[in-house]
Structure 1
Amino acid sequence: MRTLSLRQEEEQLRAQIAQLSREQKQYYYALEVAQVKDPDTYAALNWVFIAGLHHFYLGKWQRGLANLIMMIIGGFLYFSHLLPIVGITLVILIFIIELPQLFTSEKIIHQYNNALMKRLLKQTLKQVSN
């Protein structure tokens, strides 16, 4: 999704939220504040801990765990001198896979937050009646 369409989608969602009753808005914003994600935190986790911690931040446990395990195995193989070429190759592979996400972190988080807003809006409408 492009940045413009993400912004348009967010504006539409914000307009729907604005139409909620006071009680619904309170419920919605209590949920949103606790779950919305920050693109800078995501980028920092990706940059500093390339081992996949940014995936854990978004609740993508399987992908985060796969990256972390591959980084640990790669580091072990490299530093134990068992198979240093394989070890460094694993680390470089993770780096190559994760690097583009660093540069698109704002877009990734915008998509995540828009999907979160949709889900919370549906949940609010189900939970809180007018």
Structure 2
Amino acid sequence: MKLLEPLAELEQREETLRQRVNALSVEKKKAFYAAQGENLKDPDTYASLNWFFLGGFHHIYLGKYTIFFIEFSILVFSIIGLFAGVYAVVYLLIALALYELPQLFFSQKIARQHNYDMSVRLFNELHPNQRLK
């Protein structure tokens, strides 16, 4: 995930991918778009999950289960700690919020980058002789 990557660079990489896919034969294009359609993630859905649900549920949407488990565990541990009177866990909650805040602000970009990375992997699997970076 490249939060600080300029949006213009991401758009340029997406355009390069589109051009490479458009240069394929009709059958190969159909195969690529069929496989891609099954795996694309909606940036608005990702942003909504990020905005409305605490504990990293937006990571499940992108298939990042390990990150979800870590964030959710920290959240649950912190809440239990607060009820137990261990107020030092507030620092964990603050750290979690500081980690999540940039993801909230860049959620559209994160989902687009995820879709681009998935599309490049798919393109490279289907066309190993025409690999993209």
CA deviation after TM superposition for structure 1 residue 100, in Å: 1.0
Show the counterpart of 2:126. Answer: 124
| TM-score when normalising by structure 1 | 0.87
Show the counterpart of 1:48. Answer: 52
Unmatched 5+ residue regions in structure 1? Answer: none
Percent identity between matched residues is 36
Aligned length: 124
> How many Å separate the matches in 2 of 1:44 and 1:89?
26
Residue of structure 2 aligned with 1:102, choices 81, 100, 104: 104
Show the counterpart of 2:70. Answer: 66
CA deviation after TM superposition for structure 1 residue 94, in Å: 1.0
CA deviation after TM superposition for structure 1 residue 90, in Å: 2.1
CA displacement, residues 36-67 of structure 1 (integer Å, 9 cap, x when unaligned):
11111111111111211112222222111100
Match of 1:59, SS state, is coil
Letter in 1 for 2:55: A
Unmatched 5+ residue regions in structure 2? Answer: 129-133
> How many Å separate the matches in 1 of 2:80 and 2:124?
46
Q: CA RMSD in A?
A: 1.4
Letter in 2 for 1:57: Y
